[in-house]
A and B are shown apart, each in its own frame.
Chain A
């Protein structure tokens, strides 16, 4: 992470640079507002620590200039100042600063404030990345955004219901539900690596083509796994990877790619499986009409203990009416589904 420090006080700059470098950051110093603004425009910096009082463009003007420009990434700004009091804080925040650091700074405080900024920047990066990847899948598979939106809503409803079950209480909390909602749309990301001749083939697939199509689970998991290994802070991708890999596994071990059974299938994969199948059953395809909600409920119920975790089917049957609400809000569109019906895979 590159950090830009802007202050006309050479001593403060020296101390900040020393502290930040020892914390492992790469730091550049600017000695007035104009120089800092020019450096920000290079796009190399995501965090700015700026003094309030500087000759020429002061810290507040610098904040305002940064917030007014169009940018492809958020700049987290910490205003470093010896101005104290609520009025100063309000003025600073109104100009676009995200946080304050009082002079003279304490290294420990500096560290936690920088970490706080990084967390916010990571959230932005995370949601942008996931959204972009999900859209990529969507564009390849000719599915409408409605599928992904419904899927994540269904997954959230199921997870919320499961959070009340004693056996899931420890695992499924608010963070888990948020992460599941965020990452479920990536379940089919591996399909981007499947050739058009198979993915977009009109009509039934051959056995060989089915086997190739099934590799989308492994291909997706490999891609997401690499993101995990290259960015230790992208821990959220591990759930996305698990979902991509296991959402076609069956509770009785008859699914793919590995034939995992029971609790060996990650919970996020088991939840996504129910959400995915319900949406497939109740959506119109070129080769079938949409099944009614009641018929879909019956089919999922029949899949309990074979295709699906019986506790998740139980949760589904407890809250199935909420699925209807989602369908009403996120309308169905024609889906060119080339893969075999998930329920039949």
Chain B
């Protein structure tokens, strides 16, 4: 089992520099939405709105020492975040998933803490993504995205 610590500041190598701070790859998201910015905004909003519940569920599962539930939740979060190019969350969720499957509780607690922190940070930073906009597509997406979520 890996014991290395991951923080929300440590962006995986696959994340482009312009995306590292927020951890969301907007270009990839827009591409996956086939250029439909309105739809991309809707998907992003759904994801961000769901993060609070994901955090609650993860913390509850850890409290209950339900490791199977932890890995299932982490696995699902990894899939959701991957679709949006939220690579920091993907990376942390993958590590949480792996730790929970291996069943070493202290590591799981640590991983869940890192993951839930990252989710909260992402939720908080959701209003400051405009600084990451580097293309017209992104700018348009972010303009649509500025409304509160």
User: Which A residues are within 8 Å of any B CB, using their own CB?
Assistant: 8-12, 14-15, 18-19, 22, 51, 53, 82, 103-107
Contacts and interface: CB of A to CB of B under 8 A. Distances in A.
A8 B34 contact: no
A288 to B, nearest CB: 67
A263 B39 CA distance: 56
Interface string B62-89: 0000000000100110111011110000
Contact of A9 (B32, B33, B80): B80
B33 A15 contact: yes
B79 A10 contact: no
A206 to B, nearest CB: 66
Given A18-B36, A53-B75, A106-B32, A10 B46 contact: yes
A51 B80 CA distance: 12
A11 B83 contact: yes
A49 to B, nearest CB: 13
Contacts of A14: 39, 42-43, 46
Contacts of A82: 75, 78-79, 82
A8 B84 CA distance: 16
Interface size class on chain B is 20 to 34
A15 B33 CA distance: 7
Identify the 6 closest CB pairs spanning chains A and B, nearest first: A104-B82, A104-B83, A11-B80, A103-B79, A9-B79, A11-B83
Given A104-B32, A107-B31, 5 more contacts: A8-B76, A9-B83, A19-B32, A53-B72, A107-B32
A54 to B, nearest CB: 9
Contact of A22 (B34, B50, B75, B82): B34
Contacts of B42: 14
A225 to B, nearest CB: 37
Contacts, number: 58
A105 B76 CA distance: 15
B79 A104 contact: yes
B47 interface: yes
- From B39, B43, B75, B76, residue with most partner A Cβ within 10 Å: B76
Interface of B: 28, 31-34, 36, 39, 42-43, 46-47, 50, 72, 75-76, 78-80, 82-85
Contacts of B83: 9, 11-12, 15, 103-105
A14 B43 CA distance: 7
Contacts of A107: 31-32, 34
Contacts of B32: 15, 19, 104-107
Nearest to A53: B75
Contacts of B47: 11
Contact of B82 (A19, A51, A53, A103): A103
29 contacts: A8-B76, A9-B76, A9-B79, A9-B80, A10-B50, A11-B43, A11-B50, A11-B80, A11-B83, A12-B80, A14-B39, A14-B46, A15-B32, A15-B33, A15-B43, A18-B34, A51-B79, A53-B72, A53-B76, A82-B75, A82-B79, A82-B82, A103-B82, A104-B28, A104-B82, A104-B83, A105-B83, A106-B31, A107-B32
Contacts of B43: 11, 14-15
A15 B43 CA distance: 8
Nearest to B39: A18
A8 B75 CA distance: 12
A279 to B, nearest CB: 55
Interface centre among A8, A51, A104, A105 (most CB of B within 10 A): A104
A22 B32 CA distance: 12
B9 to A, nearest CB: 23
A18 B33 contact: yes
Nearest to B76: A9
Nearest to A51: B79
Contacts of A18: 33-34, 36, 39
Contacts of B28: 104
A312 B8 CA distance: 75
A114 B43 CA distance: 23
A54 B43 CA distance: 20
A90 B129 CA distance: 41
A82 B79 CA distance: 7
A89 B33 CA distance: 27
Contacts of B39: 14, 18
B102 to A, nearest CB: 16
A105 B79 CA distance: 10
